[in-house]
Amino acid sequence: MNTVLFPGSFDPFTVGHASLVARALLLFDEVIVAVGHNESKPGWLNADARVRALRALYKDCARVRVESYSGLTTDFAIAAGAKAILRGVRSLQDFEYELHMADINRQLTGIDTVCLFTEPQHAAISSSVVRELAHLGRDISPFIPAGYNIPADVAALPAHHHTPTPPSSTTTSCYTPHTTGSEA
């Protein structure tokens, strides 16, 4: 099986992340969304909550597997049977960082990195921006995939936060990125 590992903190998982997963499914047989767990970096959502939310989001998509891990990403990728690591690139700075990481990863284990450029409509979206908006009491539903439910008991979540309910017309067994109508 041609499997790619998509690692990240996904704190929270955004529409940009979901777009990368959907596009990776066009290239690979399986995508493993690997939620990194780092004890020294407490997240907005704990790793278990992120894994649960992602498993619920992709519950009907047999080609997407959600796992958590700690330690070196390359070690986990090899143990999981991945042929490559997937990374998204939003900017020149992202590209330079990912290029250096890809070189190190290849030297360590021989695993390659596949970079997909972020779709323009998602280029400004990052987990840190979404967290900041939530902390300021803004509605973050445009920036997280429909069906990705942030637990109501997240202490940092403003009381008037709106957790989106997926519209029935756009709900699919595998999340697909939004299109502008001009895309094929």
Catalytically annotated residue among 52, 65, 90, 106: 90
| Whether residue 168 lies in the annotated active site | no
| Whether residue 90 lies in the annotated active site | yes
The first and second tokens of residue 104, run together, are 């190190």
| Whether residue 126 lies in the annotated active site | no
Burial of 128: CB neighbours in 10 Å, binned 0-12, 13-18, 19+: exposed
Closest to 64 in 3D by CA, of 106, 21, 2: 21
Catalytically annotated residue among 9, 50, 87, 127: 127
Catalytically annotated residue among 41, 160, 169, 182: 41
- Are 3 and 95 spatial neighbours (Cβ–Cβ below 8 Å)? no
Which stretches of 21-167 are assigned E, i.e. beta strand?
A: 30-36, 64-69, 84-89, 112-117
| Whether residue 41 lies in the annotated active site | yes
Q: Which residues are catalytic?
A: 17, 41, 90, 127
